[in-house]
Structure 1
């Protein structure tokens, strides 16, 4: 399988690339900063340097030709502005969907966030509010396409060691944490799970082995 990961230098993306490369898949990771090339190549991926906030659909589509699936794992990151929550967390996800369609790639995994279905509580930080709204808008846009999409909503992400056991279920699911390593492993498993096409799945720490959880 050839998988293209948008946001290839993120913590989840690097772990996903390593998992996929380790099982023999071909991985292309799209990154904005050429200085991140060494980290991405160390994970086992080929690097495509492209700024998703400035690229056209056609430019991105050239990097998707021949791929079997795309994964949107990009994000504006901590400390970013309200504006960049929209240009990265929403617009870049839509760009990837449009480019995938143009390149003939049908499988699309979107890493979203828990909490997007609920209105932000009064007094919520404006940047966090913008993030949730951008993620929800990205979900809505992807769901409106004819792509074979699956949306994954992890809980609060941690850098704790992965334990390969999770709770994976359609919403609603109580709030909770999940490791970035387990999130990457679930994404890898979802690529081999066509029955999850068209589903929105919440991800938390749990007690079910990942492969079994994906098959439920």
Structure 2
């Protein structure tokens, strides 16, 4: 099945997104750690902070806290807050990817949290566990997508009007409209359910 037929066939682009998101956050942590170290050295030089053996302790805190805290807290903001608000992380927006539910609606806060927590497993072995899961599932979902019931698709596959509030899928699922011949038809999902016996 081609990428045009299957909007989730994006394993290579998702690998690039995984690397880019982490590079952005690591770079942010590095810059803040360097700025913090420079401020500490300046404060010691001007007498604001005590030097001597205290300098090493100040530098350890000033460098390690930003270098670890920015990727951790920034990752939470990127994978939960930004994903909930925009349907994409920073790197996903660059690479034209979107996270949606089966009806093309951006994920709920709970789904975003599930996807983020699942990185404990998906990120193991430098992300190889998540990659193996994407290669093994029908819609190329990592564990976080499976538990949150989300899909990563091309941005072009999602109609602009489909960017509704999360929870709207219930309306899609039950919505019916009148056809030209008077028959009713349910709203079509972005990703149809697999036939009985097929892998989800």
What TM-score results when the alignment is normalised by the length of structure 1?
A: 0.26
Q: Which has more helix, going by share of residues?
A: 2
Higher RCO, Cα 8 Å, sep 6+: 2
Q: Which has more strand, going by share of residues?
A: 1
